[in-house]
Structure 1
Amino acid sequence: MSWLTRIKQSTPVHLCLAVTFFTSGLIVNVTQLVLFITVKPLSKTLYRSLMFYLCYSLYSQIVFLTDWWSNSRVIMYIDTDDLKKYYGQEHVIALMNHTYEIDWVVGWSFCDKIRILGNCKAYAKKVIQFLPIIGWAWKFAEFVFLERSFDKDRELIGRQLANILAYPDPIFLLLTPEGTRFTKSKHEASVKFAKEKGITPLAHHLIPRSRGFTASLPHLREKCPGILDVQLAFKKDEEIAPTVSNLLCGRGVTAYMYINRIDMRDVPHKEEDAAEWLQELFRKKDRMQDSFHKTGDFFATSGVQRVPKHEFKPRLSSLLNTVGWAVVSLTPITYYLVKMLVNGEILLFSIGAGVLFTFHTLLQKANGMTKISKGSTYGATQVNHQ
């Protein structure tokens, strides 16, 4: 093990990362609150433009872990003409498989490459908006928060999408139609449901829940011209698993991502037909995942047309942003801790050290929440997947 690897895996370094992220996150949250009170009532356009930079400042610290800290690779398969013409140029909704602990991290890394990271949005559980840092940031950034009760969510979807699609700059809206992260127990329940309903079971995905998607379509059609079919995979025989813990410890992974733009006009207007369109899309995604796990290639046996491979270099902005926040956060904290220790102010020093320990504990807690084993039980029992 090299000395650099040991440093990246050490507790003091993880403490520095935690202090930097949580301190900067609280500063971002407070700034968002001030802008929400003072700027948004006067100009929503200006407010949303400022939110882009604040959110980027927070999210890019996560991208830093992928691109710079762990030196992970994201190999993307994208049509070159579409990449030049559409990506980062329009509002899009992305339909992505929800299989891995770091699928959202890889998604953010891609969004950073097409310079849309600050305007990443997602459908998220309502409870998340009450979590400090990320949850509060998402609330101010107008994410689509759902209660997982369709009768309540139908109205919320329309109102919240109207806010998002009014943004002056392109937005990237993530929807994971499976509704929850893939686990063995959830997959077994999904297969049982599919057989009972006469639906083709999926080997590598859960049966997608179509109601959120179909309820969104009427609000998306006018201002969201594109849908991105995003398929993410990691090789099963890789020594390093795709987890947040490994990224924090500087252990890089290689992600493979297929991204295909679909014109919104190609999606049927009737709700039943749109639901079947989504089911067929996931059957295609399942063939691609099966092909990848058997051959190491999305296209070998899936019947999907091959598209060029792209690999983007990390953007310097995520590195500079993280280093800048580290200097702003760690310099005064270190100065005052050393000063208190030298002056014999043991009580104050102990309080300060306790606060730092709290930051480290929060980092471990946040890391634990990303683990598949700690995911929700939503989908582990038979429910209506429509």
Structure 2
Amino acid sequence: MDISILETFKRSRIVHLCLAITFFTSGIIINIVQCLLYYTLRSYNKDLFRKINWYLDYSIYSQMVFLGEWWSGSKLFLYVDKEDLKKYYGKEHGYLIMNHANEADWLLGWILLERVKVLGNAKAYCKRAIQYMPVLGWAWKFSEYVFLERNFQKDKENIHRQVSELSDYPDPMWLLLYPEGTRFTEEKHKASLEFSRKHNQPELKYHLLPRTKGFIASLPAMRGKVSAIYDCLTVFKEEDPNKPSMINLLNGKPVNAHLYIRRIPLEEVPESEEGQDKFIKDLFVIKDKMKEGFLKHGDLFALVDNVPRVEAVITQRRYYSLVNVVVWAFVVLIPMISYLLKLFLSGQLFYFSIGMGIIGIFLYLMNNLLNVSDIKKSSSYGTNTLKNN
């Protein structure tokens, strides 16, 4: 197929509508199954529910991974100790610490989890309001994500309870934390620098000062159950033609992501809260130097002396996300398109209006999902909440 024809196809609003219909219809079906199992099977056999739910979550998440891996053809350059990759990754519970600078970095984290075979047990901290969002929010609710109100006094007990639950999962689980608490913007960075100068904290050039209370509150529930912290840094070359956004991925534009990750045994994290606070902030000081080295010299390790150099590898994408999307497309699109055609060809305004309403709902859901990731529409959290860390 001619490349221009393929690009036009991937940017087609009709094709995007078909992707949205497939994702949201299959997602709602899976949500219904999750809900039934959550309120029945989970009460009697929590481990069995979690094993079944692994596949249900994977079927939803891998449709998003498909956008990155297959639809856009994005590449993930992974900087990792190869021996650790073979020995530990995907074989143990992990606590993933990531920076949060772009709209699509969470999806790149999911691509990593897919390739180490723990995508179905991807967990994270997220805003409580997200649990009411169809498909992803509902799936996260039934999958025991840690929902926060962003008020530590209210969240502390919930963090301990939920992390304790997740630490008891029967299969390897990775819990994602963005210590910065929100995506990087210039306004938030300015507020972060002002806070750091006022409180004698590290001044970061490319990151927000990490908030450590959630991390500290999580550690007691993980001790002896979660084996390691996976410290992760995602960076992108500024000269790349396609910025890491969900819109670009949806339009089939490839993104080249560079992801550094290292395994830190949980035993190396200090026992004291003061030590834990310093531990996280030190991680971000190193991340900041590594990102500066990458942006200025094209080398993650140019400005750091205490980080072992590892070479980039391109991990191979698996076919599961592609097969999953193709199967759901056949299951969903054939009857849906047939039904819509009947409505539009009925010759009656009432049925035509129903058809347009159905299409409108899917377009609204798709745009709403994209808006959640749009950095231009991110919350003000981080500009008016830096009272203490």
- TM-score (norm. length: structure 2): 0.97
Partner of 2:320: 317
What residue ranges of structure 2 are gaps of 5+ in the alignment? none
Give the letter aligned to residue 131 of structure 1. M
| 2:151 equivalent in structure 1 | 149
Q: Measure the CA separation in 2 of the matches of 1:83 and 1:349.
A: 54
Return the offset for 1:350: 2.9
2:124 & 2:345 partners in 1: Cα distance?
A: 48
Match in the other structure for 2:113: 111
1:1-386 aligned at under 5 Å gives the runs: 2-303=4-305, 304-381=307-384, 383-386=386-389
Letter matched to residue 286 of structure 1: D
CA contact (8 A) 1:193 1:382 kept: no
Structure 1 consecutive aligned stretches of length 4 or more whose deviation exceeds 3 Å? 339-346
Contact 2:160 2:218 in 1 (8 A): yes
Q: TM-score, normalised by structure 1?
A: 0.98
Instruction: Give the drift of 1:134.
Output: 0.7
Deviations 1:329-359 (A, max 9, x none): 1100111223344454552243023202220
RMSD, aligned α-carbons = 1.2
Q: Is the 8 A contact 1:178 1:206 kept in 2?
A: yes
Q: Provide the rounded CA distance (Å) in 1 between the counterparts of 2:303 and 2:343.
A: 65
Question: For 2:100, what is the secondary structure of its paired residue?
Answer: coil
1:368: Cα distance to partner? Answer: 1.9
State the 1:133 CA deviation.
1.0
- AA aligned to 1:350 is S
> 2: CA distance between counterparts of 1:361 and 1:147?
26
**Alpha-carbon distance in structure 2 between the residues aligned to 1:343 and 1:65:** 35
CA positional deviation for 1:373: 1.1
Helix, strand or coil for the counterpart of 1:40? Answer: helix
Cα distance in 2, alignment partners of residues 381 and 298 from structure 1: 32
- Alpha carbons 2:92, 2:227 under 8 Å: kept: yes
SS in 2 for 1:260: strand
- Report the number of matched residues: 386
| Partner secondary structure for residue 75 of structure 1 | strand
Task: Give the whole-Å Cα distance in 2 for the aligned partners of 1:41 and 1:157.
Answer: 21
List runs of 5+ in structure 1 lacking aligned partners: none
SS at match of 1:63: helix
Write the distance in 2 (CA, Å) between the matches of 1:385 and 1:239: 39
Maintained 8 Å contact 1:80/1:308: no
Deviation string 1:357-380 (CA, Å, 9 cap, x unpaired) is 220122122112211110010111
Write the distance in 2 (CA, Å) between the matches of 1:213 and 1:384. 17
Task: Tell me how far 1:238 sits from its aligned partner.
Answer: 1.1
Secondary structure, counterpart of 1:41 in structure 2: helix
Q: Find the aligned partners of 2:271 and 2:296 in 1 and give their Cα distance.
A: 36
Amino acid paired to 2:25:
T
Which amino acid counterpart does residue 267 of structure 2 have in structure 1?
R
Structure 1 CA distance, aligned partners of 2:303 and 2:98?
21
The amino acid of 1:187's aligned partner reads: H
Distance 2:61 2:143 in 1: 12
